[in-house]
Structure 1
Amino acid sequence: MAAIRSANSADSHDPNRCRYLAHFDRAHLFVYARNLGTVLRVDGEVDASNANDLTGAIRNFARLKTPLVLDLSHLRFVSVEGFRALLLLNDEFRKARVYCSVVGGAAVRPLLRIVHHNGLSIAGSVPEAFQNLEDILRARRQFLSDLARPRPAPARTTHSAAS
């Protein structure tokens, strides 16, 4: 069972200054609100004993419909069950049209090497994940702007009866 508390947020990487904190056995979830989205940092170990509770808590943040950055770079261990839960979450987020980027770390890399085509949007760091999100948003705005821009009417050619 998770113990959840609220904390005042200021620094992006200090666990003592996160907005929300939840404990799941040997895993800890730290939540940071940012301009472009929400950072969900997971520390500790994710295994069969806490994977379901942890993913349930992460799933609640997807209801906000804001982009998520799942920072797993501080994990010491991820079991196959924990990785499976991550893949299921990613599938749910994709179906709900919630952008989610995963920052991998030493504990996640071996599983990523084994499962090549996993559908995860992987970033090397939290700033890189937000840069990727910013690039996606910029491209989307440009695309929508191009769609909304009036196009000149094509020149009509008239055919005379003499030709």
Structure 2
Amino acid sequence: MTSLTLTIDERADSTVIRVCGEVDATNHARLAAALNEARRLGAPIVMDLSAMTFLDSSGLNVLLRAYNQSAHDGLHLRLAALHPRPHRLLEIAGLLPHLRTCTTVGQALAEISAHRPKPLTTPSPAPPR
């Protein structure tokens, strides 16, 4: 079994999943479970992939399913800081134009924040005459 560490960071307005190691047929179910847990929280999701050094077709399937399910649920999902090897796989597969990727986790969080609906404001009462 290959090494995979997943960390879920629940924030006030998003969930960040940090993926460290290799995602393959022996452990992709763990990644799917982490993504499902994050989706249940109902907040936008950022996947920090800076330390994900390998991604095979089973892991790719997990990412694509999560992306589609999040879109169906109306949630934002960003892939951030892609390691060069998984980035190359997404590029070869022709998927990069279809996924929301960001150079850094900070950029992904900023994008999500910018697309968040602004709270409604009530108009100030008119001054007395």
TM-score range, shorter chain: 0.7 to 0.9
Q: Does the CA contact (< 8 Å) of 2:31 and 2:62 recur in 1?
A: no
Q: Structure 1 stretches of 5 or more lacking a match? A: 1-23, 150-163
The count of residues paired between Structure 1 and Structure 2 equals 121
* Pairing partner for 1:44 from 4, 21, 44: 21
Work out the CA distance in 2 between the residues paired with 1:114 and 1:78. Answer: 13
| Counterpart-to-counterpart distance in 2, 1:111 and 1:25 | 19
Once the two structures are aligned, what percentage of the paired residues are identical?
27
Partner of 1:126: 105
* Matched residue, 2:71: 94
Single out whichever of 62-71 and 26-35 deviates more from structure 2.
Answer: 26-35
Q: Say if 2:101 is the partner of 1:141.
A: no
Question: 1:71 Cα shift?
Answer: 0.9
Question: Which sits farther off after the overlay, 114-123 or 103-112?
Answer: 114-123
CA contact (8 A) 1:102 1:121 kept: yes
Measured after TM superposition, the shift of residue 102 of structure 1 is 0.7
Q: Which residue does 1:62 correspond to in 2? A: 39
Provide the alpha-carbon RMSD of the alignment: 2.3
Query: Among 78, 83, 88, which residue is 1:105 paired with?
Result: 83
- How far the C-alpha of 1:29 sits from its partner, in A, is 0.4
Deviates more, 1:48-57 or 1:112-121: 112-121
Q: Hey, which bits of structure 1, 4+ residues long, moved more than 3 A?
A: none
Q: Deviation of residue 117 (structure 1)?
A: 4.1
SS in 2 for 1:42: strand
Whole-angstrom distance in 1 between the partners of 2:59 and 2:95:
17
Please identify the structure whose Cα radius of gyration is greater. 1
Alpha-carbon distance in 1 for matches of 2:39, 2:22: 22
Residue 48 of structure 1: how far off its partner (Å): 0.8
Q: Secondary structure at the match of 1:141?
A: coil
TM-score, with length taken from structure 2: 0.81
Q: Equivalent residue for 1:3? A: none
Normalized per residue, the structure richer in helix is: 2
For residue 57 of structure 1, report the CA deviation from its aligned partner: 2.4
1:114 aligns with 2:96: no
Q: CA deviation at 1:100?
A: 1.0
Cα distance in 1, alignment partners of residues 52 and 67 from structure 2: 18
TM-score, length of structure 1 as denominator length: 0.66
Q: Does the CA-based 8 Å contact 1:36-1:130 persist in structure 2? A: no
